[in-house]
Structure 1
Amino acid sequence: MQLSEILTTSCTTCDVEITSKKRILEKICQLAAKQIGDIEQDDLLESLLNREKMGSTGIGNGIAIPHGRLPNANKAVAVLITTEQAIDFDAIDNRNVDVFIALFVPENSCKEHLITLQSIAKLFSNKKMIKRVRKCHDNQALYNLIQQASNTLDAI
């Protein structure tokens, strides 16, 4: 599954004023809860925190891909947030993070989860792409950029 299939405009936000790891995870869960509907925001947060306990999802270059599995979910949901200031996220390269691509997937969708994580990592490993993401200051423009880039990636 590609990011373009599970990201909505309501889960795409630019230039958020957040300065801590806990607050960004809470914001991610707040947006995702509106999309998922039948799962509480606290349960979403717990799934992300459980994953972070295994090791930071900060993959380097100012990017993090927090993700969690949900036992009672029937669809995957993505959230994309950029922050005004990069924040400490315990990333593998010790750099602060300003681009967050979060993923929530049904617990029984292991293979789909891994494929989606790979496609997100591939999309955001492109340096030109990440520069364009950081230059977006409009939620709709950021969403459109991801849709276009994901579709281009699908064609490759």
Structure 2
Amino acid sequence: MKLTSLLTPACIRIPLSSTDKQDAIFELADLLVEQTGVEDPEELKAAIWKRETTRTTGIGGGIAVPHGKTDGVDSLRMAIGRTKEPLDFGSIDGKPVELIILLASPIDQTGPHITALSKISQMLIDVAVRGQMKACTNGEEMYELIKQLESSSV
């Protein structure tokens, strides 16, 4: 699986207009709805927020990967946002978040969901890559960076 198969430049928002954690997550969920035709936006938001309230998805290094499963999504979907200003996400390292990668998947598709989370983690373990992603100025630029990173890791 390639992350670029789950993503389009239109599903990347730089910068996000939101100024807090929940609004940022919901802004990305709305972007998925607009761009991919998710059937029930409120169900999607509820699923992602429920997951977020059980344990933070702020994984450290200025990154958060909120995710949720719902019947209103026909296949694994991804959206990415970079914040205007760092947001408090209750991250495991105590640092604010600048890059948010949101995943939404059908309830019955655990394998692809886990694979995508793994690929995101592998890509973002590199401090230089995180810096490059945070420096992107638009969705097309970030999409091309991810595409380049995936092609060089084959």
TM-score of the superposed pair, with normalisation by structure 2: 0.93
Q: CA deviation at 1:138?
A: 2.1
Q: How does 1:43-58 map to 2 (within 5 A)?
A: 43-58=43-58
In 1, Cα distance between the equivalents of 2:74 and 2:122?
A: 25
Shift of 1:76: 1.0
Matches within 5 A, 1:132-147: 132-147=132-147
- Alpha-carbon separation, structure 2, partners of 1:137 and 1:34: 21
Q: Distance in 2 between matches of 1:16 and 1:86?
A: 11
Deviation at 1:127, TM superposition (A): 1.0
- Where structure 2 has 5 or more consecutive residues not aligned to the other structure, the ranges are none
Task: Answer yes or no: is the 8 Å Cα contact 2:77–2:105 preserved in 1.
Answer: yes
Q: Which residue of 2 aligns with 1:112?
A: 112
- Is the Cα contact below 8 Å between 1:17 and 1:85 reproduced in 2? no
Q: CA deviation at 1:26?
A: 1.3
**Aligned equivalent of 2:73:** 73
Deviation at 1:151?
A: 2.6
Identity %: 26
- Structure 1 distance, partners of 2:38, 2:115, is 25
Answer whether contact 2:29 2:45 (CA < 8 A) is retained. Answer: yes
Which residue is 1:28 aligned to? 28
Contact 1:11–1:79, Cα closer than 8 Å, also in 2: yes
Cα RMSD of the aligned pairs, angstroms, is 1.3
For 1:19 and 1:38, the matched residues in 2 are separated by 24
Asked whether the 8 Å contact 1:72–1:107 carries over to 2, the reply is no
Secondary structure of the residue aligned to 1:7 is: coil
User: Is the 1:60–1:92 contact (alpha carbons within 8 Å) kept by the matching residues of 2?
Assistant: yes
Q: Take 1:25 and 1:16, find their aligned partners in 2: how far apart are those partners?
A: 10
What corresponds to 2:150 in structure 1?
A: 150
Rate the CA distance shift 1:63–1:38 in 2: closer, same or farther, 3 A: closer
**Contact 2:80 / 2:99 at 8 angstroms: preserved in 1?**
yes
Q: What whole-Å deviation, never above 9, does each CA across 1:71-124 have from its counterpart, x for those lacking one?
A: 243211100100111000111111100000111111111122111100011111
**Which piece of structure 1 moves more, 89-98 or 38-47?**
38-47
Q: Are 1:2 and 1:120, in contact at CA under 8 Å, matched by a contact in 2?
A: no
Task: Name which of structure 1's ranges 94-103 and 7-16 shifts more when overlaid on structure 2.
Answer: 7-16
